[in-house]
Structure 1
Amino acid sequence: MDEDAFLKAYDPTAFERPALTIDLVLLGLSDGHPAVLLIERAEHPHAGRWALPGSFVRPDETLDAAAARVLRDKAGFDAIEAERTRREQLYTFGAVDRDPRMRIVTVAYLALLPEAVFALVAEENAALSAARIAVSWAGEAGGPVAAFAVR
């Protein structure tokens, strides 16, 4: 059997398919402290809880296009800002039972936002909240002094 015949006879329903989602880790500074933007979930599962902004990947879009769409739809970026915002794939989460609805694989993207952009996005979008990231280090509370650029 040649490849064309194989593909013509191939049954794509022979294997169960997980859903694919994108989550964005939007990092920036809030009042000079590291923070991440979280969104309050409006729907179940976990309605009312805070999560990274994300969405299902549509069948006709790339991962990067889905990430840009999440920037527009969930973080309020306009189309140009969404395309210009540098983002990198951070990690892929694939635990079988991580979502109660079904098997979902999530590709997390990381975007570092300038402080002014971070503040504006958090201010203009009531569904988003800047959650400070606590770094446990004795130097913050008068412990040993850090060397070089760590200070």
Structure 2
Amino acid sequence: MNETDFLKDYDPSAFQRPSVAVDLVLLGVRAGRPAVLLVKRDQLPHAGRWALPGGFVGIDESLDAAAARVLREKAGMGEAHLEQLYTFGAVERDPRMRIISVAYLALLTEQAFDAALGAM
């Protein structure tokens, strides 16, 4: 059997699919002290609690593209250097479903941090 024949008969529904999300750890300086940017969740689950800005990865979206999109949509920032930090994959870490979350780290200047804070 060759690759083409194998893929023709392959059934991707034979495996369960977790959802994948990206979360941003945006570190900066505020009033001369280290700070991390958090958002207050406005939706369930955990509405009203503080969290890292994040979002789900689209089916045709790379992890890096999803992180850049979340940076734009949630922090109002056009660009920042993002580095993958860690992948969180505990089975029951989210009450909705199985979600694997890839954390990204960005170090922001005080000016960029204040601008992102204003966008929240």
State whether TM-score is above 0.5: yes
TM-score by length of 2: 0.97
Task: Show the counterpart of 1:72.
Answer: 72
Which of 79, 90, 94 lines up with 2:89 in the alignment?
94
Work out the CA distance in 2 between the residues paired with 1:101 and 1:120: 32
1:113 aligns with 2:108: yes
Cα distance between partner residues in 1 of 2:55 and 2:105? 15
SS at 1:90 equivalent: strand
Q: Which amino acid in the other structure matches residue 119 of structure 1?
A: D
Q: CA deviation at 1:12?
A: 0.3
AA at the equivalent of 1:40: K
TM value normalised by structure 1: 0.77
Partner-residue secondary structure (3-state), 1:102: coil
- Which runs of at least 4 in structure 1 moved beyond 4 Å after TM superposition? none
Number of the residue aligned with 2:36 = 36
Q: In angstroms, what is the RMSD of aligned CA positions?
A: 0.8
Q: Please give the alpha-carbon distance, in whole angstroms, between the structure 2 residues aligned to 1:107 and 1:121.
A: 21
2: CA distance, partners of 1:102 / 1:91? 20
Structure 2 unaligned blocks of 5 or more: none
> Quick one: distance in 1 between partners of 2:114 and 2:75?
12
Q: Which residue of 2 aligns with 1:2?
A: 2
**3-state SS, counterpart of residue 47 of structure 1:** coil
- Aligned counterparts of 1:41 and 1:9: Cα–Cα separation in 2: 43
SS in 2 for 1:61: coil
| Rg (Cα) greater in structure | 1
Identity %: 64
Provide the rounded CA distance (Å) in 2 between the counterparts of 1:30 and 1:115: 6
* SS of equivalent residue, structure 1 residue 26: strand
Q: Cα distance, 1:116 vs. partner? A: 1.0
Q: CA offsets, 1:69-88, max 9 Å, x none?
A: 001110112xxx32xx1010
Structure 1, unmatched stretches of 5+, are 128-151
